[in-house]
Amino acid sequence: MQFGIFSVSDVTPDPTTGRVPTENERIKAMVAIALKAEEVGLDVFATGEHHNPPFVMSSPTTYLGYVAAKTSTLELSTSTTLITTNDPVKIAEDYAMLQHLADGRVDLMMGRGNTGPVYPWFGQDIRTGIELAVENYALLRRLWREDVVDWEGKFRTPLQGFTSVPRPLDGVPPFVWHGSIRSPQIAEQAAYYGDGFFHNHIFWPKEHTQRMVEFYRRRFEHYGHGAADQAIVGLGGQVFMRKNSQDAVNEFRPYFDNAPVYGHGPSLEEFTSETPLTVGSPQQIIERTLGFRDYVGDYQRQLFLIDHAGLPLKTVLEQLDILGEEVVPVLRKEFAALKPPHVPDAPTHASLVAAAGGARDATVHAPADDVTGRAPAEAAEEVEP
């Protein structure tokens, strides 16, 4: 099972000091957090994508490319990549490039995005969100799997004879998850392709997660990708930990009370009982997290949200220390002991390459250069003495 963290990249004032980080500080903090995640032994770091303040992460592959260069084992992912408002051609190109630079340590989570104005800013309409997700993803898959694509759809300029470069590393596209809180159509999409399904599992009661995951598993089996319990499931989660449970509650409360999403509403205690949020000792985090399995079954990826609502970098790094030293090693052992052998791990580049029968270079050598009209081989001959 993979463990990691995911960030929404918010720039939020620290409610205990009133201090607001600059964008630059937040961006550098997100780098420090990702590097620390690898250092403490986590498997995955995923970043959100946003195109409006108070968020900084408009350009995930630039950021992830930088993190890739400074890490060696960390799987780089997204939470989510906007499949609705991004051009699928650009997603194909950007993430294939990242995949090469990161030596395959890349997967993606597709999401629709819930910020209304982002759609018109990028020339789309939120009311067609599901259709956009369906069409754009179908194109993205072809761009990664077919060297030359002829394509026509409803939302994007048609393509004739288009080759998305670079071709996926070793001829194997990155693994894709689909994230949705409550749209069965997206769980259906994930099941149809045999892709992974990720539930945010932070803001809403567990019943929503349970129903979405059950549906995805049932449809995964329906489409013939394996038994329902072999479907690839990821969950979010939100934690704050201190050695003593009461210290965790006291320290986190002002951040909770003023958090952009749910602040000034329910109490920390009410939200903890209504949603998967867990604030307490490492042991409490371990017990609650192991309990997720009771309503989603054996799953493959657990990501925690730990760096939002204005929490200072120092605190976030301490949280990572606790996760890495006290929480994740226990979870790893316990989950592994519970998992039956026929339940697969989350696919990685290595496992996908193996499943494809080995690595192959997928480079497409163009027959002729558009500018000179000459094939690269001819041009090479001319310059040789």
Partner 1 sequence: MSNDTRALAVVSAGLSNPSSTRLLADRLTTATVAALHERGITPTVEVVELRQHARDLADSLLTGFPNASLREAVDTVTGADGLIAVTPIFSASYSGLFKTFFDVLDKDALTAKPVLMGATAGTARHSLALEHALRPLFSYLRAVVAPTAVFAASEDWAGSGGALHDRIVRAAEELADLVAGRPPAAPADPFDDPTTSFEELLRRS
Instruction: Note whether 46 and 109 are within 8 A (CB).
Output: yes
Q: Which of 41, 263, 329, 344 binds partner 1 (CB under 8 A)?
A: 263
Q: Within positions 171 to 210, which residues make up the interface with partner 1, using CB under 8 A?
A: 184-185, 188-189, 192, 203-205, 208
Residue 99 or 278 having the CB closest to partner 1? 278
Taking the complex as a whole, the smallest distance from the CB of residue 276 to partner 1 amounts, in Å, to 13
Q: Does residue number 49 form part of the binding site for partner 1 (CB under 8 A)?
A: no
Q: Residue 215 CB, nearest distance to partner 1 (Å)?
A: 5
Give yes or no for residue 211 binding partner 1 (CB under 8 A).
yes
| DSSP annotation of 307 | S
The alpha carbon dihedral of 115, 253, 57, 140 has a sign of: negative
Contact between residue 146 and residue 152 where contact means Cβ atoms under 8 Å apart: no
Half-sphere exposure of residue 358: CA atoms within 13 angstroms, side-chain side: 1
CA angle 97, 104, 359 (to 5 degrees): 105
Q: What minimum distance in Å lies between the beta carbon of 262 and partner 1?
A: 5
Stretch that binds partner 1, among 61-69, 70-78, 127-135, 285-293 (CB under 8 A): 127-135
Per the CB < 8 A criterion, the answer to whether 125 and 119 are in contact is: yes
Number of residues that bind partner 1 (CB under 8 A): 33
Q: How far apart are CA 36 and CA 142, in angstroms?
A: 36
In the DSSP assignment, the letter for residue 346 is: P
Closest CB to partner 1 among residues 66, 122 = 122
**In the set 94, 135, 170, 307, which binds partner 1 (CB under 8 A)?**
135
Which residue, 218 or 243, has its beta carbon nearer to partner 1?
A: 218
Among 274, 287, 298, 334, binds partner 1 (CB under 8 A): 274
Q: In this structure, are residues 340 and 347 in contact, taking their beta carbons and an 8 Å threshold?
A: no
Q: Which residues contact 260 (CB under 8 A, 6 or more apart)?
A: 10, 12, 54, 309
The answer to whether 79 touches 237, Cβ cutoff 8 Å, is no
Q: Pattern 293-332, binding to partner 1, x per CB under 8 A?
A: ----------------------------------------
CA distance 207 to 201: 10
Q: Show contacts with partner 1 in window 212-241 (CB under 8 A).
A: 212, 214-215, 218-219, 222
Binding status of residue 258 toward partner 1 by CB under 8 A: no
Q: How far is the CB of 134 from partner 1 (least distance, A)?
A: 5
Nearer Cβ to partner 1 (110/172): 110
CB of 13 to partner 1, least distance (A): 18
b (16+ CB within 10 A) / e for 356-378: eeeeeebeeeeeeeeeeeeeeee
- How near is the Cβ of 299 to partner 1 at its closest, in Å? 18
Residue number, 153 or 254, with CB nearest to partner 1:
153
Amino acid at 203: F
Task: Choose between 3 and 137: whose C-beta lies nearer to partner 1.
Answer: 137
Query: Contacts from 243-249 at CB under 8 Å and sequence distance 24+?
Result: 243/281, 243/282, 244/281, 245/279, 245/280, 245/281, 245/284, 248/279, 248/280, 248/281, 249/279, 249/280
- Should residue 63 be labelled a site residue for partner 1 when binding is judged by CB under 8 A? no
Q: Is residue 1 classed as helix, strand or coil in its secondary structure?
A: coil
SS3 state at 302 = strand
Residue 13 touching partner 1 (CB under 8 A): no
**Shortest distance, position 264 Cβ to partner 1, whole Å:** 7
> Which parts of this chain interact with partner 1 (CB under 8 A)?
130-131, 134-135, 138, 153-155, 184-185, 188-189, 192, 203-205, 208, 211-212, 214-215, 218-219, 222, 261-266, 270-271, 274
